[in-house]
Amino acid sequence: MTLRRAEVRGHLVVHVSGEVEAMTVPRLAQAVADALDEASGHARRGDPRPVVVDLTDVTFLDSAGLAALLDATERGEELGEPLRLVVDRNRPVVRPIEIAGLVHRLALYESVQDATPA
């Protein structure tokens, strides 16, 4: 799994590629937690920066990955910073989300552009 971070139109974007599974989830969880912490600091200064996790290049997502995304979503809600997931109808990502019944629980977007309105 590869992680890359960028800022797009004032949003913190964590781009994920490769396999998200039990061995790689700790790195993903830490990257998203760091982004949420940074966003929370910006929000306290009156400069909100929602966090976007771009999963369009993920080739595999297991239950550990789903749990990490759900945990990060809940943490974002607690911090008042929405977590937005970009899935682009990526079957290796969308299918596990659908099977787990999380479609309506996670904030899903089709593109980084959709998830980062100006």
Contact (Cβ atoms closer than 8 angstroms) between residue 16 and residue 53:
yes
Question: Rounded distance, CA 47 to CA 71, Å?
Answer: 24
Angle value at C-alpha 18, between 64 and 85, nearest 5 degrees: 65
Instruction: State the alpha helices, DSSP H only, in the chain.
Output: 25-44, 63-79, 91-99, 112-115
pLDDT in tens, the chain (118 residues): 999 999 999 899 999 999 999 999 999 999 999 999 998 887 677 777 889 999 999 999 999 999 999 999 999 998 887 799 999 887 899 999 999 999 999 999 999 999 998 7
Q: Which CATH class is domain 2-115?
A: alpha beta
Domain ranges in the chain are 2-115
**DSSP 8-state secondary structure symbol assigned to residue 48:** -
pLDDT in the model for residue 46: 74
pLDDT in the model for residue 49: 82
pLDDT in the model for residue 48: 72
